[in-house]
């Protein structure tokens, strides 16, 4: 049985380190140019400031997925607490409704914290539009990416 729950970044960091390479390998752009290099101290500082929310998915004690969001007042709406998805990932063999459970739990926790607006995204190659729309999310923006490190294209 999959358990989805809030946990602290600092408490689960060793387990996260085990999953990050799988996540990076699956979805990162420009892997040949930009290596994975998680800024663990900055995440810890954000957690200390109350600006980080982590939801995990576990199969028993085994960490099988995570959802990390930043929780801050928006620069344009300083009196309104907002959440922005940083990353989410589930091991492929557990992608059978676990993502929906993680989003639902994140929404519940964010509402409890007083968040009024949440923003998320997905990669074009890993399109989660159907899931997000089913959960009541609205498609509002398109995000574009361009590698600026040299003259090569974004592919």
The tens digit of pLDDT for each residue in 113-140 reads 999 999 999 999 999 999 999 999 999 9
Which of 24, 31, 27 shows the shortest CA–CA distance to 147? 31
Phi and psi at 63, nearest 5°, equal -70, 120
What gap in Å lies between CA 84 and CA 118, rounded to an integer? 6
Task: Look at residue 34 in the predicted model and tell me its pLDDT.
Answer: 93
65: which strand partners?
57, 90
Task: Look at residue 1 in the predicted model and tell me its pLDDT.
Answer: 86
The tens digit of pLDDT for each residue in 51-89 reads 999 999 999 999 999 999 999 999 999 999 999 999 999
What gap in Å lies between CA 148 and CA 133, rounded to an integer? 32
112 has pLDDT over 70: yes
Buried b (16+ CB within 10 A) or exposed e, 71-89: bbeeeeeeeebbbebbebb
Longest CA–CA separation in the chain, Å:
49
154 has pLDDT over 90: no
What gap in Å lies between CA 120 and CA 53, rounded to an integer? 14
**Helix (H, G, I), strand (E, B), or coil: what is residue 138?**
coil
- E strand spans, 32-154: 52-59, 62-74, 77-90, 117-119
pTM: 0.92
Mean pLDDT along residues 103-110? 98
Task: Look at residue 41 in the predicted model and tell me its pLDDT.
Answer: 97
Task: Look at residue 95 in the predicted model and tell me its pLDDT.
Answer: 94
**Helix (H, G, I), strand (E, B), or coil: what is residue 142?**
coil
- Cα of 19 vs its chain's centroid, Å: 13
Domains in the chain: ranges and CATH: 2-134 (3.40.630.30)
Task: Look at residue 9 in the predicted model and tell me its pLDDT.
Answer: 98
What gap in Å lies between CA 111 and CA 21, rounded to an integer? 31
């Amino acid at each position: 049985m999959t358990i989805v729950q809030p946990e602290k970044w600092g408490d689960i960091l060793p387990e996260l380190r085990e999953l990050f390479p799988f996540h990076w390998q699956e979805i990162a752009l420009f892997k040949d140019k930009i290596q994975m290099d998680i800024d663990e101290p900055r995440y810890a500082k954000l957690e200390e400031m109350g600006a980080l929310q982590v939801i995990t998915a576990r199969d028993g004690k085994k960490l099988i997925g995570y959802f990390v969001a930043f929780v801050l007042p928006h620069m344009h709406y300083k009196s309104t607490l907002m959440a922005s998805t940083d990353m989410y990932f589930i091991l492929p063999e557990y992608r059978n409704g676990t993502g929906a459970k993680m989003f639902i739990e994140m929404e519940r926790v964010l509402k409890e914290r007083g968040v009024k607006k949440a923003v998320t995204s997905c990669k074009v190659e890993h399109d989660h539009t159907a899931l997000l729309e089913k959960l009541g999310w609205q498609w509002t923006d398109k995000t574009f990416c361009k590698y600026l490190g040299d003259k090569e294209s974004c592919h």
